[in-house]
Amino acid sequence: MRILVVDDELVSREKMKRIMGSIGMCDEAASGQEALDAVARANEEGSPYDLITLDISMPEMNGTEVLARIRELEQERRLDSAEKVKIFMVTASSEKDTILSCIRSGCSDYIMKPFSMDTVTKKLRDNGLMPGEVQGAGQNGDKPAAGRTNPLQPIIARFNRGEIELPPLPRIQNRFYEIMKGGGDQRQIGDLLKQDPAISTRLIRISNSSFYRGISENTTVEQAVNRLGLLATKQAVDALSNRSLYEGASPKYAAVVEMLWEHSISCAHACQIICELKGIKLVEDPFTLGLLHDIGKLMLLRVIGELEKGGKEEATGDADELLATVDAHHGKSGAVLLKKWLFAGVFVQVAELHDHVEHILTPSRELMVVHLGNAIVKSMGYGTPNPGGVQPESLQVTQALGFDPSVVSIIKDQVKERMEALKECLQ
């Protein structure tokens, strides 16, 4: 069986691919136009798709439009009903009108989000597409615990739909990126940093820390930038600018937010060290990828705190329960925020998928580096708990990146050294 999975959301697409990949040859498309192109190629090759799972809600060309176009092409080719591809619409909407519209347009069936292995295989079986029992049905991660509801779901849904106002990227960080992209020099960067006395002072302190200290002590921003170099200066500005986002949190969540900061900065160091030790060249700076990987957690906690402050929402449960709930939903929220901040696609991908690498057929090196860095600092106790007791030495990505498990201890030692040297400067 040849299958095409169409969905603009990475997590949903990868999850469906994992299920469908166990019963046939599975291709993917991230947009309506990509789907139409894939269908055209398959037809030209004389190997048309047997099944297409088609997400309804996609930008530019939604699933209903793609469905109609595919059926029009089949009509032009004068295919009979037995020759037409089976199309399952995938939707998070429970509105009858949406589903009925798709049925009238010629879909074969529909799958509701969030879907599980069980629900998908039942649809396949009902439509005569089940060649045999699929292994791994009923995975625990696909089903909510019986009798439990997620008290934060309305907030998370509003955040992901863009109905809650998101904070802008810190101004000085945004301007710094503009100067870097424009090929600016150290003088321009120094002039910019002088506009923020707090960042300037801390940057000088970083340049004089044990990790960077030179023969003489720096006293000016220009000296600090010259000693650090553009890359290390960028990393310091990223860390200092993002630190401001962690300040002023609701007192109710202040301890959790502080833990997240410690985890984020330690993961940033871990990602950089991983790349340094193995000479891995990434498209984007590994330090910043690690720094921003959990930004969705911070934003959800800030939004929840602000809504509670205004008396609009109330999250129940203790801090551990709250963090577990936020942890389960932060990927999409982080992706939404980084898109708003106009970060490159790799940042969005890392924010959304860093906890799902094991479910991705061909993860990028950026994803693998952040996944490993995340696991390493969790095992060290930096900020975020490690309830599953995951050991980074045993992860598949450790081997995939070419690391001997014994090297993980070296990474841990270097992370600890850098955290001790720089943490005080970034407070």
CATH number assigned to the domain comprising residue 261: 1.10.3210.10
SS3 28: strand
> Which stretch of DSSP H or E encloses residue 180?
helix 171-181
Domain membership flag for residue 155: no
> Which residues is 88 bridged to in the sheet?
53, 109
Helix 407-426 × helix 254-278 angle, to 10°: 130
Confidence of residue 36 (pLDDT cuts 50, 70, 90): very high
C-alpha 275 chain-centroid distance: 20
Helix 10-20 × helix 345-353 angle, to 10°: 60
Rounded to whole angstroms, the Cα distance separating 143 from 89 reads: 21
Rounded to whole angstroms, the Cα distance separating 266 from 239 reads: 11
Choose one of 91, 120, 139: the last residue of a domain.
139
pLDDT for residue 272: 94
Pairing of the two strands 2-6 and 25-29? parallel
Contact present, 98 and 63 (Cβ < 8 Å): no
Confidence of residue 166 (pLDDT cuts 50, 70, 90): low
Residue 53: φ, ψ to 5°: -100, 125
pLDDT for residue 425: 66
The count of structural domains within the chain is 2
Confidence of residue 103 (pLDDT cuts 50, 70, 90): confident
Say whether both 197 and 273 belong to one domain.
Answer: yes
Largest CA distance in the chain: 82
> Which stretch of DSSP H or E encloses residue 29?
strand 25-29
Domain membership flag for residue 320: yes
Rounded to whole angstroms, the Cα distance separating 48 from 38 reads: 9
Domain membership flag for residue 145: no
Say whether both 134 and 179 belong to one domain.
Answer: no
Question: Which letter does DSSP use for residue 169 in this model?
Answer: P
Say whether both 85 and 181 belong to one domain.
Answer: no
Say whether both 272 and 405 belong to one domain.
Answer: yes
Confidence of residue 136 (pLDDT cuts 50, 70, 90): very low
Match 């997590």 to its residue by tokens: 11
Choose one of 139, 161, 181: the last residue of a domain.
139
Say whether both 193 and 241 belong to one domain.
Answer: yes
Contact present, 206 and 422 (Cβ < 8 Å): yes
Domain membership flag for residue 267: yes
CATH number of the domain bearing residue 127: 3.40.50.2300
Contact present, 350 and 289 (Cβ < 8 Å): yes
Rounded to whole angstroms, the Cα distance separating 268 from 291 reads: 5
Higher pLDDT, 308 or 64: 64
Least reliable range by pLDDT among 232-236, 274-278, 423-427: 423-427
pLDDT for residue 384: 64
Say whether both 253 and 397 belong to one domain.
Answer: yes
Domain membership flag for residue 147: no
Tens-digit pLDDT profile for residues 50-101: 899 999 988 889 888 999 999 998 888 888 777 889 999 998 766 566 777 7
Locate 136 and state its tokens. Answer: 């791994």
The verdict on pTM exceeding 0.85 is: no
Say whether both 194 and 69 belong to one domain.
Answer: no
Q: Is pLDDT above 80 for 306?
A: no
Say whether both 121 and 207 belong to one domain.
Answer: no
Residue 86: φ, ψ to 5°: -75, 130
Q: Is pLDDT above 70 for 175?
A: yes
Domain membership flag for residue 373: yes
Q: Is pLDDT above 50 for 148?
A: no
Boundaries of domain holding 53: 2-139
Rounded to whole angstroms, the Cα distance separating 228 from 234 reads: 9
Say whether both 122 and 238 belong to one domain.
Answer: no
> Which stretch of DSSP H or E encloses residue 27?
strand 25-29
Nearest to 244 by CA among 306, 340, 169, 337: 169
pLDDT for residue 423: 63
Say whether both 135 and 182 belong to one domain.
Answer: no
Confidence of residue 319 (pLDDT cuts 50, 70, 90): low
